Every structure is written in structure tokens, then in C-alpha cells.
Structure 1
């Protein structure tokens, strides 16, 4: 006889006393498309090892240029396939030469012959779009009916796009909250000057939540990076009529800035992919698109400055969310006292859309002793 108990055994108490799941222990839902690598990382005729929530996955680019994804373990001795050799449209394990095609089927064992082939390995649905390699790590039968996410303005030639990303040592939910909550502008005072955000409105659906902001500058000068985004200097303008809309459309996030005339001047698409089984580290994949001015070469010339500016902002955000993760780990639970309504709505969304609590089987009776085969 066995009893089933939740792995997440430490619920957080709300002020009303109702237990809720600790958001920092809610795993991301696998039934979505996630980018696991940039296209340039997977060279023709090479294999590249990646991870999704602790699962090792190998991305293989064949001699024809196609990409496929398999479990990164040879069915024979469980060694990583990414150390193997791409052979035409298949991959050959580096150890004994077992060979797998894009479906994960074992198509050759050199010393057995093709008539005695063993079982293969798991294959993942895989698609390559706009320089990203997406994998569907969940239920395979759902992949066809689950659309790839829209990637903002990356395909629009009126915009110049920066592709960026880093590993960040925190749960993915900290990343969503950091971007959604523009009240943390004080953190960026050295880069942005003293900015004050004002929430205009917020909206919510079954799998999304979004909020609109405007900003006013209370002290300091407009940074060059901000001027590049808007295509003009705004020195001396204390109040901006531009509207920033931040949206979590689970599991992705977007940030768009529109001028008072309604022109979309900045369009960010971003996702945070958990790497380890505990989901305490994520890899960020971001596409930052900026509208080209009439003299497009000016943006090209100033692009290194924009990269420098955004890197400094990201560095500060990365530092603070990693400190939040450290605080959670030290205290053993989420003791944040959140007062901003849209962040509380975002937390509810991430809990509701995340993977259900993992469950394990715990024996409560000793198993009967095995019968000996020796009489």
C-alpha cells in the first residue's frame, strides 16, 4: 500500500489564513513552446546540449540544415548524445555508435545489424523561427494545436532588433514580477535619473494580465539610450504622455511603448526558461525591437550605445532578482509583503497557469521480502 503526498509541502499562509502554493515552488508548465537556443548556437553538422527544467535535450542540425530535438541520453549507456557525431540526417552516439534519426528511433547499431535494433529515445517537437529554436517539452500530442508565440516586431523591417539573453540565478516568477512592476525605477536611478511611474489601468484574462504606465522625470537627465528609443531628446519635459504596456501572456512577456500619437517605438518580447530541476535558474531569451527613425542609419550608428544602456539596466535587474531568490532560500518560503494590485494578480496568474503540484509515492508499509531464486 502506498500514500500519495505533495512535494510542495510548505504552503504559504495568507493574512486571512488560507494556504496558497509558494509561487517560487510552482514549476513552469511544459505544454508550451520554449526557445532553448539561438539558431547560431547550433552549427550545421553539429549537436548542442541544452536543458529544460532539468531535462537534458540535444539539438541537432543535420547536414541539410534541419534541426531536431531528442532526449540527450543514449538509450544504450545513458551518455549524452550531444557528444556524438552528426551523420547526414541522424546523430551517432560517441560511445558505441548507436544512431538515431529525427524521430528518436534507433536506426543502426554497428555490431548488431539493422534487423535487431533496440528502442530509441524521446523526440521533442522542434521549430526554428526568427533565429530561435523552439522545443515543446510537454505532451507531444498538444504541440500541433499549440501555436508558437507572436514575436513582436522582429519580422518588421521598420524596426531594428536586438537579440539578448543571460542566465539568471532565480525562479522565473521573479523575472515576470520585476518587469511588470515599474515602481522599481529607483533601482535604475543611476541610469535613468529619478523617474516616477504611474499606473493608468490594468486588465486580465484567463491566461494573461497587463498594465499601462506613464512616467514623469523628477530629477536627473534623460539618458542617451532613452532618446534613441524615442528618436528625440526630451530634456526639460517632466511629464511624458507616452504609454508603456506590459503584458504577461503565459508563459511569455511583452513590453511596448507608444507615443502620444500612438506610434509603437519599442517592442520587447521575452521569456524565461528554467534550466534546473528545482527551477532556481533561468535562461532569458529576449527580442528588443526599436522603430527606425526617418534617417535609419542614425539608429545603426548609435546601436552600440543602446546595447550599452540596456545591458546596464539588465545587470541591475539581474542583481536584484538574484538577491530576492537568495532571501527566499534563506527563509524557506515566500515572505514578500506585496501591496501592488497588478503584481498580486500576476502572482495568481502564474500559480494558476503553472504546472500542477508534483506528487510522489511514499511507501507506508514495508514491502514483502523478495523470494529467493535459490532453493
Structure 2
């Protein structure tokens, strides 16, 4: 058993996408950083098939990876740019097409495997002390520092601990930060599908009363499926054999890409909304899913986490410039103010979409069809929607510039 005790500016618990990228960002900003992770991630291998966990990374959050020197490692290995998004309602002819040319961008985003981003970040942790495999057993928060006691016998002393270990964050629990939220009574079925026709680098999403069906383009011509369905339908889909599932999916997608010829490994996970009532307390901060989990309908979960990284890094840099340590609440509150309002707005929007499109109320059905039609016919509205989706802003923290 190790008995070492070390002092750092920041200790990050959780080495997934958000935690690992945050560790790179802070170490590149000359903070001393410790990273605690239960299991070292497997090296990414392009010979392996696509992982089930993928994200649609928008141009704004992608800049975070680019400014940290991580994007080249992602782009040269395996990712797929998409240049348009088509959204349509199953109950009408209303449809909306958003394309990159509307805002002068070469693409609207990239479909990337989560494991590839994690691998790229871990290879860049050269100036970070990694405690792995190790898990947090307890926290002791004092006036001038926080002590992390790990299950391998190590003790870490830091000015700040960041919980970036997901929705069931032990750091959040240890700090006594409460959450609000609810389960949606839905599950999302994911996996790689082979359609009859090429995706043409477009993300396709059809809204139905039981939940949307989305196809995200992959580099090899296949699509990553995200089929959000009420629990009863999801359970029914899970019982279907391969051919029956593909036939059902072809029907649900209205054959937009022709017949679904093949469905590789599939899995389903429950959907929920969760939001921490605070993003920071003395010597404690939360980032990524430890702070917020939203319905994946809009594909914004990882993007919000990367924006957390940019804002938290900026807040800690500002604190240091004012001769404050990384755990200073004045600058942690700056991070909370910057991110909480934006995250709540996005969570509210996706929750509203879920409820509007999950309702069989005739009035709501009529309103949503009209909304798609209005947005489709008015270019300024389409541009506003695209700007929001791609996560670009004229101002913002250094890592987003």
C-alpha cells in the first residue's frame, strides 16, 4: 500500500473525457495537477469497431481540444464531419434542414468516439501526476486545503478538488451538494447501423411521439443510431432479433436512408435529467456530468462539459493573477455564474423538446409542426439555431478563441 502524501493546486477525480481534458488544460496553464481514476483507459485502436459511446462535438467545444493540441490526434485517427442536420416530424410533412453554409463553417460538427478523446487526452498528461487505479474513499475539507484519501493508501492535499467522475459523483456527495432532476421513463438504443444509402455527411433525426430516431454519420459510411423510446417500446425493441429490429428501424426512420441492412452490437441506457444545485463550494468544484445531465436529444452533453473545462480554467487563471489560490470561492463563483445559466438554459430547452415531442396532445402536435415550418422558411431563425448548436461566440474564455 502506498502512503505518499502530495500537495497540488488541483486534484481532479475522474479521468473520462471532461476530467482528462481538464487535467491537460490546467497542467498546460502551469497548475500542479493530480488526476485520480479507477481504471486506466485502454489505448484506442482504429482496427477495433466503433465504440457504442459517441458524441457530436460542435465547433466551439472542438476549439478547446484544438487549443490544447488534442484535436489533431483525434482527427487523424477516426472521426466524421457532418455538414447538415435534417429534422422532421413523423406526423406531418414539416421538416427543417440546417446546413453549414448558413454560418460560413466547413462543417456543423464531428462525430467522435468518446474513447478516442480520452485516449488523446491521456497521452498528453505528461505533466500530471496520475493516481490509477485508485478511488476516492473520503474528503476532508479544511480552510486552506482539501485532503483526498484514496483506497490505495495515498493522500492528496490540494487547494481545490474537482469532481468530474460522472452523474453519481462521489466528490459531489462528499461535499454535500444536492441535485434536482427526474427520470424520463425512456431508454436510448445505440449501435452502428448499415443503411442502404450513404448518409451524405448529414445528421438525420425524425421526431415521433415515443421519442426521436437519430442517425449520426460515421467515417466508414455507416451511421451511429440513437433511438430514444419510452420504456415499454425500448423493452419491446430489445427482444427483437436482428432482422426484425432492422425492419422496425427502417419503418421508424421512414426509410430516409433506404433499408437498414445491418445492425451491429446494440445496447440501451436509461435517460434522465440531473442538475447540481451548486457547482462549487469552498475548495470543491464540479464539471461535466457531475454537475449536469440532460436529455441527449440535442447531443449537447459532452459539449457542455468541454465548455465547463474552458470556463473553469479561465476562472482559476484569473484567480492566480489576483494572487488567490485555486480554491478561492470568489473565482469559483465566477465559473458557476458563467456555466450554470447556460447549462440550465440548454437543459430547459431539451426538456421542453422532449415533452413537446413526447406528447400526443393535438394542440402541441400542431404547434410543433408549425414551429418546424416557420424555422424552415426563415433563414435568420435557422442561423440563430445553428449558432446555438455549434457553440460559437464572439467572446468567451481563452480556450474557446
- State the TM bucket, normalised to the shorter chain: under 0.3
Provide the TM-score with structure 2 as the length reference.
0.22
Provide the TM-score with structure 1 as the length reference.
0.23
Richer in helix (by share): 2
